[in-house]
Amino acid sequence: MKLHLIAICGTGMGSLAGLLKAAGHDVRGSDENIYPPMSDQLRALQVPMFDGFRPENLDWGPERVVVGNVCRKDHVEVLEAQRRGLPLVSFPALLSELFLSSKHSVVVAGTHGKTTTSSLIAHVLADAGMDPSFLIGGVPFNFGKGWRYGEGSHFVVEGDEYDSAFFDKGSKFLHYRPKTAILTSVELDHVDIFDSMDAVRAAFRRFVALLPEDGYLACAASSPEALAVSQAARCRVETYAACRKQGNEVQALWKAEIDEGRSPFRTLFSVTRAGEFIGTFEVGLTGHHNVENALGVVATGVALGLSQAELSRALARFAGVKRRQELRGIATGVSVFDDYGHHPTAVRETLTALRQPGARGRLVAIYEPRSATSRRATFQNEFADALAAADEVVVAPLFQPEKIPPGERFDIERLASDLRGRGTAARALPSVEAIVPHVASRVQPGDSVVIFSSGGFQGIHEKLLFALGDPIIPAKPQDMPRVREILRLTGVCGDDLDEDRSGDVLVVADESGIVGCVAVEVYDESGVLRSLAVVPERRGRGLGWTLADSAVARARVAGVKRLYLLTETASDFFAEKLGFRPVDRNSVDSMVVASRHFGEAHCRSAVAMRLDLAP
């Protein structure tokens, strides 16, 4: 089928384009902001894109035009499609028609946690060899993209309650034919389309009622509204809840007890069902809310026939989701995180998670009111309560304030004042250009900065990292030629580190560009630190140690228990600075020995070293 997608570079539309292309459809689209990373992904898939919206973009003869909910009825391409008699279809309706009618649809719905939970269940099914398809409104690191076209019988969908199109004002998830579902929470949100909590409840009740009698619903017992909504289900409903040390214990069939204080990077939790011990699980996520997300996946995985061993292995391998507590980089000892949080509940939970035992230093939050809800005064007081969990807060101006009626706008100056009244240092600043130097001047090594925004926020993350100096950041595919150049310049092997391997690499940059690199390869609970190099003119300034230390931290986040390396000349450095110790090659884990790096000829005379990473 020939399909034209309006606003193809949006996260959802771009992922749908990839899915359609993989399924064999002829896909093209248009957008007025064609920019990476989605533009790069679509070009790699050979999906043609028209720059700008124009009537002639439809001259190629599509059979149908896909319209997202950002398009108004007077959009130039909508009007042209109608003039030509081309059928209009919404994103969710097309997904349902072409993919979900023949699959076991697993839908994750809820006000919070949808992206992480749907990423988790998709990863669990894939790790168990069930080859699922999925469409998720984020990018799971295990897959590197928000869609997958598998041969298996399951299709995982992130079930958004937002409306579908100007001609279909029903919630997207009403199109998704759920057979199995997870309901993470129900709260007031999207106040631009829901005028009351009653309207939110009604939408979720309609969704739950779609589940067939032989279906399954896992419902978060920590959300009273979700529990109330679940009563509309005709199928089996199982409740789940993560236990807190303080406060009233929530009653639920499935329970998770968190092992507090083990690691600031990963979480260990034990699971029971109706009081019967199921097993102990580890996941590379932190925070009570993420444990609850993982528990919902455990319950659902069991309902789908997965074993405890399969679930345990998959959760331990989960690498997280882009823009959900994502560490964007470290500069001068300051960690900079990116989080999509745009609702007070999500903001509060993220700040609480980043204060997990073992976390060091102060916690600084930068908050941009950007979503349709957060730009309104609906949660004026609640945002003050949520952000008060930080040590210091900087509030950015409202995004496109002219689109919100003056009497309904969120008041950033009042937020800053309310936070100061709660004992939290806070300022409202007029621009990214003002925020970056202000924050850079107030943080110290060991501090963390978390940036909350549902958009790009003018690239503030990298601007702050570069303002702090010598940032260590994940490599991008376009960085890899420079990485290989540095490795050749310093005589370090790394020709196998191509663009597809950029996810293994960290780089350090200054105003001249990338000046150092290191790679970490992960093999289940073992890892390899390799390709550590710094350009000659920057040696002797501690960059090598900083890169190595960051690589060790990344290995911890990935769940690595034993980290290996090979060195011919720097064994004293790795022993004294990081605690590595020489080991007999015969004791090295088999998957590490089988790796290309350990098998390279020039490495056969090198000393093998190992660092045991405590939980």
- Read off the amino acid at residue 572: D
> Which of the following CATH numbers is that of domain 99-317: 3.40.1190.10, 3.30.200.20, 3.40.50.740, 3.30.70.360?
3.40.1190.10
Q: How do 64-67 and 88-90 pair as beta strands?
A: parallel
For residues 368-396, give the mean pLDDT: 92
Topology of the domain covering 2-93: Rossmann fold (3.40.50)
At 525 the pLDDT is 85
At 36 the pLDDT is 64
Dihedral of CA 288/289/291/296: which sign? positive
For residues 452-462, give the mean pLDDT: 88
At 553 the pLDDT is 84
At 248 the pLDDT is 58
Whether 99-317 and 472-612 share one fold: the answer is no
Residue spans per domain, the chain: 2-93, 99-317, 326-468, 472-612
Q: How confident is the model at residue 260 (pLDDT cuts 50, 70, 90)?
A: low
For residues 420-448, give the mean pLDDT: 94
pLDDT at residue 38 tops 70:
yes
Enclosing H/E stretch for 599: helix 596-599
CA distance readout (Å), 202 to 191, 195, 230, 256 = 14, 12, 11, 30
Segment 333-343, tens digit of pLDDT? 898 999 988 88
Instruction: Give the span between the Cα atoms of 258 and 126, in whole angstroms.
Output: 26
Q: How confident is the model at residue 20 (pLDDT cuts 50, 70, 90)?
A: very high
pLDDT at residue 207 tops 60:
yes
Q: How confident is the model at residue 287 (pLDDT cuts 50, 70, 90)?
A: confident
Which residues, other chains included, contact 370 with Cβ-Cβ below 8 Å and sequence gap of 6+? 342, 398, 399, 453, 454, 455, 457
Q: Report the chain's terminal Cα–Cα distance, integer Å.
A: 51
> 145 versus 133: which is more confidently predicted?
133
pLDDT at residue 65 tops 90:
yes
At 557 the pLDDT is 80
Segment 531-554, tens digit of pLDDT? 999 999 888 778 888 899 889 988
pLDDT at residue 360 tops 80:
no
The least confident of 66-70, 314-318, 540-544, 577-581 is 540-544
Whole-number mean pLDDT of the chain? Answer: 90
Segment 569-601, tens digit of pLDDT? 888 888 988 899 999 988 898 889 888 888 775
- Read off the amino acid at residue 83: R
> 87 versus 259: which is more confidently predicted?
87
Segment 144-202, tens digit of pLDDT? 888 999 999 999 999 988 888 889 888 899 999 999 999 999 988 877 778 899 999 99
Dihedral (Cα; 299, 557, 567, 609), 10-degree rounding: -60
> Which of the following CATH numbers is that of domain 472-612: 3.40.50.280, 3.40.630.30, 1.10.10.1800, 3.20.20.70?
3.40.630.30
268-280: burial string, b at 16+ Cβ within 10 Å, e else: bbebbbeeeebee
**Token pair listed for 9:** 């570079």
pLDDT at residue 135 tops 90:
yes
Q: How confident is the model at residue 356 (pLDDT cuts 50, 70, 90)?
A: low
Beta bridge partners of 218: 182, 238
Q: From the centroid of its chain, how far is CA 574?
A: 32
Q: Looking at residue 321, what DSSP letter applies?
A: B
At 37 the pLDDT is 66
Q: How confident is the model at residue 261 (pLDDT cuts 50, 70, 90)?
A: low
Q: How do 472-474 and 505-510 pair as beta strands?
A: antiparallel
The least confident of 29-43, 75-89, 213-227, 386-400 is 29-43
Segment 295-307, tens digit of pLDDT? 999 999 999 999 9
Question: Per residue, what are the HEC states of 129-150?
Answer: CCCCEEECCCCECCCCCCEECC
pTM of the model: 0.85
Q: Looking at residue 87, what DSSP letter applies?
A: P
**Token pair listed for 604:** 């056969």
At 508 the pLDDT is 93
> 586 versus 76: which is more confidently predicted?
76
Topology of the domain covering 326-468: Protein-Tyrosine Phosphatase; Chain A (3.90.190)
At 41 the pLDDT is 79
Q: How confident is the model at residue 245 (pLDDT cuts 50, 70, 90)?
A: low
